[in-house]
Structure 1
Amino acid sequence: MQLTATQASTGVDPEVGGADEVTRLRAQMERIQGRRLDAPVIPVHAALASLLPGGGLRPGAAYSVPRSTSLLLALLAQPSQSGSWCGVVGMPRLGAEAAERLGVDLSRLVLIPDPGARWLAVTATVAEVLPVVAVRPSGRTVDSEIARLAARLRDRGAVLLVQGRWPQVEATLEISGSAWSGVARGHGYLAGREVSLSSSSRRWPRARRARVMLPDAVGGVARVESFPALAAVPDAGRERPERDPLAVKAAV
């Protein structure tokens, strides 16, 4: 067998050494981040999977999402159906009926409408026992408290969905525009809403985008490609806070 100059001088096969180096670096990153990079993710609806690194919610990670009740419920639907308990903190107007119609298993949903001034401590406590926790911040945060919560998420393998900006997130989801269909010249029935979504992550070189019906004609979620072209009613181009994603009055 003929040795290369590198092998002759170091006694190490560069291919084997390269593989060992990758393994070492991976282990180091996992120790720093507190979770396995190849750990299974919690599944989400197929229409939203392409917007998340790994195609789902990574245990131990936090995500920044817009103040959209319908999008939040869509993200909680598949985890709850797959057996994961979900908690929602600080959203008193979230409706159980709307959650159920968007696919959330109510038997695995815990609501804490008003956590008070200690909302961050309440969120951390809930993350101790529930694998998926969503929160709408109601006050200012301190860096040290955020760091402690992040450590708890990694330790427990919980997922945090934050409505609003949040540091050190796995991905940031945003709504760039939406349009209702079904209303023509001021009358008719709302048939669905097409939403343009974008997602940015430190794991991707550029943002990813997708269009979904949220809700679709039957109140669920679907990729917009599966629908024929619809005459749309613009919805001001930006997502607004919703009381109920299935209630006409709250959305138009």
Structure 2
Amino acid sequence: MTPPAAGPSLGREPSSSGETSYPEPAGRRGTSPADVALGLQARINSMQAGTLDSRRLPTVPALARILPGGGLQSGGSYTVRNSTALAMALLAGPSSAGLWCSVIGVPDFGVEAAQGFGINLERLILIPDPGSQWLTVTAALVDVVPVILTRAPEHLAPTEWARLRARLRQRGAALITLGAWKQSDSTLGVAESAWEGLGAGTGHLAARRMKITATQPSGRLRHAYVGLADLQAPAPGTASQGALLPEGLQPGAAPGRASTALFEPRLARSS
């Protein structure tokens, strides 16, 4: 069988000197190499920007300011050192936006507190004690849930961590770990915390102020001073944070009822 002629089918054009030359791509004739390079660079930049925006998960604004990339990233991993409340705040943004979340291996995770932060309990999967199957359970949920909060076991081989991290990136899920994990993209913690409203034996807890830090593997540290309410996302179907309080504990409740709620936003003088 005779093969087809190579010249025309490969797009080669013979020159007057007998050498074979290649035609310029369509649309680039008369365009200088510098213009072509600038055009390609602009296209690459626009594609990268779109990719980063599409990988960013909804995040509470107070935390988005200090997280690398401006928020939780799909495929990223984050460590929370010393605060379950801070971990709940990381879940609050994605959950209030309608994403499914899972909590694995945290038996003391309080669902009432989680709802107060704005976490949608109808889209929350709780597995308090996976036992020796922690890695299997976590890897399985990575395939179906975009955000996972867990307390990782103390003894886990580096190769197992590496496989889990690769799975996160492949599936586009974000992992939040209570405790210490050296391979996290950012480590968050509460560096300072103070309650306001208490006097010398009198008064009511009115607000909590915290200094939250986020440290990247490079050592770069960011911090933000926030109030407890800044870490809460509106719960589905609620118009404001006040709606999260039980009836009778709302600020401005009718006289004779529990109008001086524990978290009523007022300060009491100390004696």
| Same fold per superposition (TM over 0.5) | yes
Counterpart in 1 of 2:33? Answer: 13
Distance 1:118 1:41, change over 3 A: same
Counterpart in 2 of 1:103? Answer: 118
Kept after mapping to 1: 8 A contact 2:106/2:151: yes
Give the unaligned 5+ runs of structure 2.
1-30, 235-261, 264-271
Q: Does 1:141 align with 2:161?
A: no
Q: SS of the counterpart of 1:172?
A: strand
TM-score w.r.t. the length of structure 2 is 0.66
Question: Greater CA deviation, 152-161 or 191-200?
Answer: 191-200
Kept after mapping to 2: 8 A contact 1:64/1:169: yes
Which of 190, 198, 215 is residue 200 of structure 1 equivalent to? 215
Shift of residue 190 of structure 1?
1.6
CA RMSD of aligned residues (A): 3.2
Shift of residue 55 of structure 1?
2.0
Task: Please tell me the residue identity of whatever aligns with 2:227.
Answer: M
TM-score w.r.t. the length of structure 1 is 0.70
Counterpart in 2 of 1:56? Answer: 71
Distance 1:159 1:188, change over 3 A: same
Partner Cα distance (2:170, 2:100) in 1:
17
Partner Cα distance (2:75, 2:46) in 1:
17
Point out the structure with max Rg over C-alpha.
2
Q: SS of the counterpart of 1:139?
A: coil
Partner Cα distance (2:34, 2:79) in 1:
41
1:175-198 residue CA offsets vs partner (Å, 9 max, x unmatched):
211111122113332222111011
Kept after mapping to 1: 8 A contact 2:82/2:189: no
Shift of residue 104 of structure 1?
0.7
Give the unaligned 5+ runs of structure 1.
1-10, 30-35, 223-245, 248-252
Partner Cα distance (2:178, 2:127) in 1:
15
Task: Please tell me the residue identity of whatever aligns with 1:209.
Answer: H
Q: SS of the counterpart of 1:79?
A: helix
Give the number of aligned pairs: 204
1:121-176 residue CA offsets vs partner (Å, 9 max, x unmatched):
22112111110001112321111111111111111110000112223322221221
Kept after mapping to 2: 8 A contact 1:41/1:57: yes
User: Identity over aligned residues, as a percent?
Assistant: 43
